[in-house]
Chain A
Amino acid sequence: MIANAQAGTPVAGSFAGGFSWAMARDLRLAWRHPDEAVLTVAFFALVASLFPLGIGAEPQLLTRIGPGVIWVGALLAAFLALPGLFAADYADGSLEQMTLSPHPALGWAAGKIAAHWIVSGLPLTLLSPLIGLQYGLAPDTLAVQALSLAIGTPVLSLLGGACAALALGARGGGMLLALLALPLFVPVLIFGAGASEAQATGLSATPHLSLLGAALIAALVGLPAAIGMAVRIAVD
């Protein structure tokens, strides 16, 4: 005997419902396969370690290029984590179910991005002081560096998420995604690297950080809706 649910029970969709659903599900999936998060972080550490080997390990030079190298490394690592963000959901039909759910797209799109950031952006931010030490950055610069990454990597996740959703099912795969996402990352890179560089040269990092914060607010306001729309276009 199958116990049917009561027909006609009004089901309620809400932002919070979609957000917590997407976040809980994606975090559980990431927990089942922690290797992806580990690979992102390993890639970041590896790229950052290649620079001293490539351009020389002179301490003064390293201190100067450190902030920029760390930001570029974090940006590339965040980019590499993008293709998987929607591809699996697209292939197994979860995106269709999400589009047809009573929860607004805003909610589950934001939830997916939040989970993605926790798995990719957050570990990068936490690891950055360690890499910064390898480059001989001063403690205050390290703090500003971590802060700029903490504000900046969510913007990368949001922008990259939108591009990844737009490129679903497109010919050209990874290269196309790079062409779409990396130009949009440029301002984030400029402000982010600028903040710790300003701190390192004795200037105030505040203007950069506030611009980065403004970018984060703008991204939080606009991009989840854009991601929802991109997904809707993709499943059409």
Chain B
Amino acid sequence: MNWFYFSSPSTFYTLAGRLAPWFFILAAALAAWGLYLGLLVAPTDAQQGAVYRVIFIHVPTAWMSMFLYFVMACYCGLTLVFNTRLSAMMARAIAPTGAMFTFIALWTGAFWGRPTWGTYWVWDARLTSELVLLFLYSGYIALSNAFEDPRRGDRAAALLALIGVVNLPIIYFSVQWWNTLHQGSSVSFKGTSMHVTMLTGMLVMSAAAWMYAIGATLVRVRSVILERERRAQWVRDAGAA
């Protein structure tokens, strides 16, 4: 089997088109199951009441926001090292989904914070790092679109993403030192053992987010491929057919 067969944009275009619907169907099914577990089956929390159920959206999206950045950075590394066309297109396709998950994580966090902490926003290290992540995503998107030559944008933005990925753990570990100075973290799950259905619901929702991310990326990479290869013969053939 030729591993590079699907790294050609034209073959990947067809493959992505065939796979994307299945990922969306899976995502919808998993999300329905996860929400059923989370909203109806899981017990109400003793301290927070029903408010805690935001967790079923909040935590999976937060995980995905960071994981997608990591995946994007891997594609960026491939772009810079091997100068492969498809990897740059994949990184471009992932970025908006990652930014969306980051935004949802921040937004649901704010709605969770209001009733439990009494405020929408605190300058806690975790919130700040997530906000910086959103800026990194926007910086990536802005830089990749800021050049006349799209491949120049690919490579410049790829390098930015790689610099940013080194920055992530730095922000992340600042938690410990930062919190000793400012107020301690307001909410913690330490000590409260998590109920099994809660954990299951969260994992199912994560899987749903995962499937959605793959589906959305595949759909977006198809349009990126079409835009880039619009002069290529196979696109013209496809358009004529």
Contact = CB atoms under 8 A, between A and B. Distances in A.
A218 B171 CA distance: 14
Interface in A199-236: 201, 203, 207-208, 211, 215, 218, 222-223, 226, 229-230, 233-234, 236
Interface string B162-202: 11101100110010011011000000000000000000000
Nearest to A181: B139
A197 B181 contact: yes
Contacts, number: 86
A211 B175 CA distance: 12
B36 interface: no
Contacts of A91: none
A187 B181 contact: no
A169 B174 contact: no
A180 B139 contact: yes
Interface stretch (A47-55, A82-90, A160-168): A160-168
Nearest to A183: B135
A187 B142 contact: no
B146 interface: yes
B80 interface: yes
Interface in B152-170: 152, 155-157, 159-160, 162-164, 166-167, 170
Contacts of A162: 159, 163
Contact of B135 (A179, A197, A229, A230): A179
Contacts of A184: 163-164, 167
B74 interface: no
Interface residues of B, number: 29
A201 B181 contact: yes
A166 B142 contact: no
A203 B162 CA distance: 35
Interface string A2-21: 00000000000000000000
B147 interface: yes
Contact of A186 (B142, B146, B152, B171): B171
B146 A171 contact: yes
B201 to A, nearest CB: 33
Given A179-B135, A222-B166, A207 B156 contact: no
A198 interface: yes
A71 interface: no
A179 B139 contact: yes
Interface string A173-192: 00010011011101100110
Nearest to B180: A203
Interface of A: 159, 162-163, 166-167, 169-172, 176, 179-180, 182-184, 186-187, 190-191, 194, 197-198, 201, 203, 207-208, 211, 215, 218, 222-223, 226, 229-230, 233-234, 236
18 contacts: A167-B156, A170-B147, A171-B146, A172-B146, A179-B142, A180-B143, A183-B136, A183-B139, A184-B163, A186-B171, A187-B167, A190-B128, A203-B180, A226-B163, A229-B80, A230-B156, A230-B159, A236-B152
